[in-house]
Amino acid sequence: MNLTRRTFFKVAGVTGAGLVATPNEARAATVAAPGGAAMLVDTTRCAGCRACEAACAEANDLGPPAEVSSLEIRRSTDQRTFTVVNAYQPPDGGDARFIKTQCNHCVDPSCASACLVKALEKTAAGPVVYHPDRCMGCRYCMVACPFDAPKYEYDRAIPYVRKCEFCADRQARGEAPACASVCPTGALQFGTRAELLEEARTRIYQNPDTYVHDIYGEHEVGGTSWLYLADVPFDRLGLPDDVGTRRYPELTWPFLSAVPLVLTLWPPFLMGLYAFTRTREQSEASMHEGAAPAETETHHD
Amino acid sequence: MTNTSERAIAPQAWVTDKLLMGLSLETYLRRLVTPFNLVAAGILAVGLPLIVYRFAYGLGAVTNLSQATPWGLWIGFDVLAGVSLAAGGYVLASTVYLFGLKQYYPVLRPAVLTGFLGYFFVVVGLMVDLGQPWRIPYPVFYSWGVTSVMFLVAWHVFLYLTVQFLEFCPAVFEWLECRGLRRWAVRLTIGATVFGVVLSTLHQSALGALFLLAPTKLHPLWYSPFIPVYFFVSSIAAGLSMVIVESMLSHRIFHDQFEPERSVDLDGITLGLGKAASVVLFTYFFLKLLGLADGARWDLLATPYGWWYLVEMLGLVLLPCLLFAFGVRHRRVTLVRYTAVLAVVGIVVNRLNVAMVALNWDHPDRYVPSWMEIATTITIITLGVLTFRWIVNRMPVLRSGPAFAEDH
């Protein structure tokens, strides 16, 4: 019995070290600095030329983008297309609106919090990057992402997750992301999140009749590094309006914080239960036999 | 002692005794030709090449998974339902060792074996589903994503598989007649049981907690902040019901394993388990009701998804709960057994609902598993059943162990 208990606590200690101590530290590290890189997408300026798509495909070596008219088909990103421009026709007629979509590079991303091997990581610089050498292909990031940004190479025998990485390598060299560097209309503006929020607010303030008085991505899912301005409600441009303003990792946080509690409270409770049971059995046995409980070790089977 | 020396002298006799169940190779092989085995062989003949095909050409060649639906039947059934149905191991181990209800001992070993094999084949199913299964040790040994609920699941399934193997070790050592090793394995029992309950509490609920990150994707009737509690409580009911079903099937299929002189009150055990399952199912139903009230989406009950939700809650949770209660009260053992089947179906449907039906419920592309996904799942179940049978026919699982196991 002594040996069993000792063994048990030894094992519990080992796993406790792995499962209790670390989440707090790691969580702090996933939240990016407010000055990180960001992109302002002003959909009122987008002409739908799709130069960004071509530049993205070239920069990421994805092959030429699909030869389709963006007006005709509603497309989504996939494992070989990290960004798409879609057209939305207003219901009351009028000009089509164009919107570029890609990974929004959340400030506190759901995908990174969901990844059990840290293959997805929010860097302090701003981009949410992917480490293909760690990914085991569970695809939980795809379930967790409210924008469906991560895509999977189902057609490969050795598949990886693919998505926009905000041209983190170009940013590290001091260059703007490929898409922003080719945008002819100024619909894409690259900068820090703080300064782009100022810029967006200024545009709304100076053109109050043009813009919706809201910046998509300022508060959505706790903030994203890609920010959108529009002159029609955002959900009409296909941006989800049901994602809320909570940081997604907060959704699992109550559960994860209960884990240490269960790990520390369950064992003594269960051991106590066992002790009661054993005492009861021994007293019953001694009553039946009218003798002291046996000194020999009990076999638990 | 004599056993050891005999084994060293005659390995052939050992093979005959331990592996061929005392038959000559020829007789053994001839006895293998049964209708059941032919069906099993047919399933494996289709399924095993499919698994090879899946690894050669990728998930897309075999599954209907898409960019919108990254999880399908293999996660919904093989992993989520599989883990909940394998809960009998920890439920029965705590019943017998921690609560001291020794009358359930006769069904403990099969429950532990079902649990161990259940988890083992959950991992097999998961490896078929993972994009790069050879990296399965990464979360344990290479890169720790501690903010992930999946990280907890990975660690706990790994640890719990080990714990369940230790829990089953006494039977293995009785089979191999290793007296000393068995004594050591038995000494670990209480520690393993307590650790097993802790691990099960956490990872059963963690499998539900995975879906907390999908508030916009999982239908509001199924999404709830309480989903970890639902998964945990329903796993207890699933475990109890599976033990009833499994003992019913075992008594029919392996009747030669039951010695007439060792009277086992299986009816009494079944009624006791049924009573417990009834209470647990009622708790589960009540908790689900609380969650429904908390979500305050009563309006959705009048939609097709709402009807399906009601089928699950009334037909597959409340109905088995009441049938268990009725059956136990009137000592209708057969009714309790069939109710257990219904309860098992109910938990499986719940897991499939969460992972497949109610997930991406408003997405234009609906996922339906391909025949190859279904065939692979059936193949993995068949492998599990065959392994179970192989072990039961050799090791003291249903029958009592050798004499040295009884010395109290």
Mean pLDDT computed over A246-264: 92
B54 and B167 inside one domain = yes
> What's the rounded Cα separation, in Å, for the pair B79 and B356?
12
B223: pLDDT strictly greater than 80: yes
Subunit contact A113:B148, Cβ cutoff 8 A: yes
A42-46, A275-279, B219-223, range with the lowest pLDDT: A275-279
Mapped onto helix, strand or coil, the DSSP state of residue B147 is coil
> What's the rounded Cα separation, in Å, for the pair B124 and B136?
11
Total count of domains within chain B: 2
Report residue A70's pLDDT band, with 50, 70 and 90 as the boundaries.
low
Subunit contact B195:A12, Cβ cutoff 8 A: yes
B268 and B344 inside one domain = yes
Subunit contact B195:A267, Cβ cutoff 8 A: yes
B29 and B158 inside one domain = no
Considering the domain boundaries, does residue B408 fall inside one? no
> What's the rounded Cα separation, in Å, for the pair A281 and A293?
9
Mapped onto helix, strand or coil, the DSSP state of residue B57 is helix
A234: pLDDT strictly greater than 70: yes
B28 and B135 inside one domain = no
- On chain A, the residues whose CB falls within 8 A of the CB of B202 are 259, 262-263
A8-12, A248-252, B164-168, range with the lowest pLDDT: A8-12
Report residue A69's pLDDT band, with 50, 70 and 90 as the boundaries.
low
Residues of the domain holding B221: 34-392
A296: pLDDT strictly greater than 80: no
User: Is B400 at the interface with chain A, CB within 8 A?
Assistant: no
Instruction: For residue B79, count other CB atoms closer than 10 A to its CB.
Output: 22
Subunit contact B213:A136, Cβ cutoff 8 A: no
Report residue B400's pLDDT band, with 50, 70 and 90 as the boundaries.
confident
Subunit contact A76:B67, Cβ cutoff 8 A: yes
Local structure of residue B258 (DSSP, 8 states): S
Mean pLDDT computed over B233-251: 93
Mean pLDDT computed over B282-289: 96
- On chain A, the residues whose CB falls within 8 A of the CB of B367 are none
Mean pLDDT computed over A135-159: 95
- Indicate the residue of B143, B186, B211 with minimum beta-carbon distance to A300: B186
- Indicate the residue of A12, A144, A254 with minimum beta-carbon distance to B213: A144
Instruction: For residue A95, count other CB atoms closer than 10 A to its CB.
Output: 9
User: Two tokens at B113?
Assistant: 């074996």
Q: Which long-range contacts (CB under 8 A, 24 or more apart) does B36-42 make?
A: B40/B382, B40/B385, B40/B386
Mean pLDDT computed over B242-269: 82
> What's the rounded Cα separation, in Å, for the pair B80 and B247?
22
> What's the rounded Cα separation, in Å, for the pair A53 and B375?
40
Subunit contact A140:B139, Cβ cutoff 8 A: no
User: Is B325 at the interface with chain A, CB within 8 A?
Assistant: no
Subunit contact A259:B202, Cβ cutoff 8 A: yes
B13 and B93 inside one domain = no
Give the CA-trace dihedral at B16, B21, B24, B25, to 10 degrees. -90
B227 and B376 inside one domain = yes
Percent of chain B at pLDDT exceeding 70: 95
Taking the CA of residue B370 and the nearest CA in chain A, the distance in Å comes to: 14
- On chain A, the residues whose CB falls within 8 A of the CB of B71 are 139, 143
Residue A237 makes CB contacts below 8 A (sequence gap 6+) with A43, A88, A97, A99, A228, A230
Residue B122 makes CB contacts below 8 A (sequence gap 6+) with B78, B79, B82, B83, B86, B157
B3 and B73 inside one domain = no
Report residue B266's pLDDT band, with 50, 70 and 90 as the boundaries.
confident
- Indicate the residue of A136, A155, A254 with minimum beta-carbon distance to B132: A136
- Indicate the residue of A8, A243, A259 with minimum beta-carbon distance to B195: A8
**Concatenated DSSP letters of chain A:** -HHHHHHHHHHHHHHHHHHTSSHHHHHHHHSPPTTSEEEEEETTT-----HHHHHHHHHTT--PPP---TTT-----BTTBS-EEEEE--TT-S--EEEEE----BSS-HHHHH-TT--EEE-TTS-EEE-TTT-----HHHHH-TT---EE-TT-SS--EE---TTHHHHHTTPPPHHHHH-SSS-EEEEEHHHHHHHHHHHHHH-TTTS-S--BTTSGGG-BSEEEE-SS-GGGGT--S-S-SS-THHHHHHHHHHHHHHHHHHHHHHHHHHHHHHHHHHHHHHHHHTSPPP-SPPP--
A264: pLDDT strictly greater than 70: yes
For chain A positions 81-110, those within 8 Å of chain B (CB to CB) are 110
B7 and B55 inside one domain = no
For chain A positions 241-280, those within 8 Å of chain B (CB to CB) are 242-244, 248-249, 251-252, 254-256, 259, 262-263, 266-267, 270-271, 273-274, 277-278, 280
B101 and B25 inside one domain = no
CA closest to A253 among chain B residues: B147
B15 and B114 inside one domain = no
Subunit contact A300:B190, Cβ cutoff 8 A: yes
Bridge partners (DSSP) of residue A279 are none
Q: Identify the pLDDT of residue A282.
A: 84
- On chain B, the residues whose CB falls within 8 A of the CB of A122 are none
> Is the pTM value of this prediction over 0.90?
no
Report which listed range, B59-63, B359-363, B400-404, is most confident: B59-63
Considering the domain boundaries, does residue B400 fall inside one? no
Q: Identify the pLDDT of residue B284.
A: 96
B6 and B125 inside one domain = no
Report residue B5's pLDDT band, with 50, 70 and 90 as the boundaries.
very low
C-alpha distances out from residue A37 to A54, A152, B42, B87, Å: 22, 26, 58, 47
For chain B positions 169-228, those within 8 Å of chain A (CB to CB) are 170, 186-191, 193-195, 197-198, 201-202, 205-206, 209-217, 225, 228
Subunit contact A259:B194, Cβ cutoff 8 A: no
User: Sign of the CA dihedral A272, A278, A279, A281?
Assistant: positive
> What's the rounded Cα separation, in Å, for the pair B347 and B281?
10
B218 and B359 inside one domain = yes
- On chain A, the residues whose CB falls within 8 A of the CB of B197 are 266, 270
Subunit contact B146:A22, Cβ cutoff 8 A: yes
Residue A287 gets the label, from left (phi > 0), alpha (psi -120 to 50) or beta, of: alpha
CA closest to A255 among chain B residues: B209
Percent of chain B at pLDDT exceeding 90: 67
Taking the CA of residue B202 and the nearest CA in chain A, the distance in Å comes to: 7
> What's the rounded Cα separation, in Å, for the pair B47 and B40?
10
Burial of B73 per CB tally in 10 Å (0-12, 13-18, 19+): buried
Mapped onto helix, strand or coil, the DSSP state of residue B218 is strand
B65: pLDDT strictly greater than 50: yes
Give the CA-trace dihedral at B49, B51, B57, B60, to 10 degrees. 130
Subunit contact B155:A271, Cβ cutoff 8 A: no
Instruction: Kindly report the CATH number assigned to the domain that includes residue B343.
Output: 1.20.1630.10
> What's the rounded Cα separation, in Å, for the pair B134 and B143?
14
Residues B187-217: tens digit of each pLDDT: 888 888 999 999 999 999 999 999 999 999 9
Q: Identify the pLDDT of residue A16.
A: 45
Phi, psi of B31 (to 5 degrees): -70, -20
User: Two tokens at B123?
Assistant: 């991992």
Subunit contact A138:B197, Cβ cutoff 8 A: no
Only one residue has tokens 């085995």, namely B37
Q: Identify the pLDDT of residue A295.
A: 43
C-alpha distances out from residue B144 to A136, B141, B248, B278, B401, Å: 12, 8, 43, 40, 42
User: How many A-B residue pairs are in contact by the CB < 8 A criterion?
Assistant: 218
For chain B positions 237-296, those within 8 Å of chain A (CB to CB) are none
Rg (CA), chain B: 22
Residues B75-133: tens digit of each pLDDT: 999 999 999 999 999 999 999 999 888 889 888 989 999 999 999 999 999 999 999 99
B9: pLDDT strictly greater than 60: no
Q: Identify the pLDDT of residue A12.
A: 43
Subunit contact A22:B144, Cβ cutoff 8 A: yes
Subunit contact B201:A266, Cβ cutoff 8 A: yes
Q: Identify the pLDDT of residue B364.
A: 83
- On chain B, the residues whose CB falls within 8 A of the CB of A4 are 187-191
Give the CA-trace dihedral at B307, B309, B313, B315, to 10 degrees. 50
* Cβ proximity of A14 and B155 under 8 Å: no
Only one residue has tokens 């705590």, namely B94
Percent of chain A at pLDDT exceeding 70: 83
Q: Calculate the average pLDDT of chain B.
A: 89
B140-144, B250-254, B350-354, range with the lowest pLDDT: B250-254
Subunit contact A23:B210, Cβ cutoff 8 A: no
- Indicate the residue of B58, B130, B198 with minimum beta-carbon distance to A267: B198
Mean pLDDT computed over B18-44: 85
Taking the CA of residue B183 and the nearest CA in chain A, the distance in Å comes to: 8
Report which listed range, A33-47, A66-80, A232-246, is most confident: A232-246
- On chain A, the residues whose CB falls within 8 A of the CB of B136 are 136
Subunit contact A262:B198, Cβ cutoff 8 A: yes
- On chain B, the residues whose CB falls within 8 A of the CB of A146 are 215-217
For chain B positions 151-170, those within 8 Å of chain A (CB to CB) are 151-155, 159, 170
Mean pLDDT computed over A165-194: 94
Report residue B405's pLDDT band, with 50, 70 and 90 as the boundaries.
low
A211-225, B185-199, B236-250, range with the lowest pLDDT: B185-199
Taking the CA of residue A80 and the nearest CA in chain B, the distance in Å comes to: 12
Only one residue has tokens 């001839």, namely B30
CA closest to A121 among chain B residues: B145
Q: Identify the pLDDT of residue B406.
A: 53
Q: Calculate the average pLDDT of chain A.
A: 84
For chain A positions 185-244, those within 8 Å of chain B (CB to CB) are 240, 242-244
